[in-house]
């Protein structure tokens, strides 16, 4: 293994904090990755990683070497593209993550267009409502909905999502249609458990332009947006959900909007990626493409 390849292996181990995860990402045997790091440390005369049975972390020397390697490898990749021809298509794997209903209704239907433009790119596509650790899990970019709290990420705002309050026809037949905020005391909600907040989210609304929250009675809490809507369809309670993806259910009458005068605030949508990671051509074209898709659907 040459020095550049060894640097690339080192950066992946540092990124994942794991020899096994780095080996899986690089499609190499774990022994090859381990041997590469040992040879690198021997050549440098410095220990780059502190190894325990549970985790692998960078030493001070490793942190310094990571900083230099990141810049060198990025500059090398950038230099190589100067001579590869302006018309050469980006190639390789891009690992992305986004909320599942956004993926299902807004992004996946357009993927044939993406692959027609970039046939040499493969996507590892995560669609869940779990809060993903981009660096720790090796995710190149993610779509996040809501305010961004992680200042270590670079973010590109791509739109706003309108939220509505709704319930199923069967629920409204059983409990009646709430007309005022006071009516909510006799109603049930389907709770959504946020992995980011570590708790069930409260019911949100605005009064005189000010955001307010309300703790609702609930029989069930879910952590999946698909399960959230399914529970609403089953008549288990009211939900607050993005209008996008609910149009067919609303048009058929299976779900009905309630309390339209007390909607939750629209949610910002952003594409995020690691701050210290220079975007490769394949990641950059995907970020640009998905940003255009989400901007178009948010209008």
DSSP assigned state of 4: H
pLDDT of residue 279: 72
User: What domains can be seen in the chain, in order of their start residue?
Assistant: 3-82 (1.10.10.10), 92-158+269-298 (3.40.190.10), 163-265 (3.40.190.10)
pLDDT of residue 271: 92
Which residue is it, tokens 């950066």? 11
Which residue is it, tokens 């990141």? 70
| pLDDT tens for the chain, residues 1 to 299 | 688 889 889 988 988 888 998 898 888 999 999 999 999 999 999 999 988 877 888 998 998 888 788 777 766 766 665 555 545 688 888 889 999 999 999 999 999 999 999 999 989 899 988 888 887 777 889 999 888 876 678 888 998 989 999 999 999 999 999 999 999 999 999 999 988 778 999 999 988 888 899 999 999 999 999 999 999 999 999 999 999 889 999 999 999 999 999 999 898 999 998 765 567 788 889 999 999 999 887 65
Number of Cβ within 10 Å of residue 30's Cβ equals 14
Pairing verdict, β 217-222 and 239-242: unpaired
Sheet with strand 239-242: strands edge to edge: 239-242, 163-168, 255-257
Distance (Å, rounded) from C-alpha 7 to C-alpha 132? 26
pLDDT of residue 135: 73
Pairing verdict, β 141-145 and 267-274: antiparallel
pLDDT of residue 48: 93
Which residue is it, tokens 């993550």? 97
């Amino acid at each position: 293994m040459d020095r550049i390849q060894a640097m690339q292996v080192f950066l992946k181990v540092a990124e994942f904090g794991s020899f096994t995860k780095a080996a899986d990402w690089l499609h190499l045997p774990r022994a090859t990755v381990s041997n590469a790091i040992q040879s690198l440390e021997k050549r440098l005369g410095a220990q780059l990683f502190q190894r325990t049975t549970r985790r692998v972390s960078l030493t001070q020397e490793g942190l310094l070497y990571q900083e230099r390697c990141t810049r060198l490898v990025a500059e090398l990749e950038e230099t190589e593209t100067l001579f590869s021809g302006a018309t050469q298509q980006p190639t390789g794997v891009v690992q992305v993550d986004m909320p599942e209903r956004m993926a299902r209704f807004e992004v996946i239907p357009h993927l044939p267009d993406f692959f027609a433009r970039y046939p040499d790119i493969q996507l590892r596509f995560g669609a869940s409502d779990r809060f993903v650790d981009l660096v720790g899990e090796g995710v190149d970019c993610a779509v996040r909905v809501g305010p961004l709290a992680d200042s270590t990420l670079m973010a590109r705002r791509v739109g706003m999502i309108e939220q509505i309050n709704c319930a199923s026809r069967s629920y409204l037949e059983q409990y009646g249609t709430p007309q005022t905020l006071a009516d909510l005391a006799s109603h049930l909600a389907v709770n959504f458990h946020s992995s980011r907040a570590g708790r069930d989210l409260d019911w949100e609304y605005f009064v005189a332009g000010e955001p307010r929250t309300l703790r609702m009675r609930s029989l069930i809490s879910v952590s999946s947006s698909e399960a959230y809507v399914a529970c609403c369809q089953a008549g288990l309670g009211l939900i607050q959900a993005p209008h996008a993806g609910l149009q067919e259910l609303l048009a058929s009458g299976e779900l009905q909007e309630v309390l339209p005068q007390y909607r939750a605030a629209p949610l910002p949508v952003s594409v995020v990626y690691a701050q210290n990671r220079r975007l490769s051509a394949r990641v950059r074209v995907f970020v640009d493409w998905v940003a255009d898709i989400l901007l178009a659907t948010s209008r």
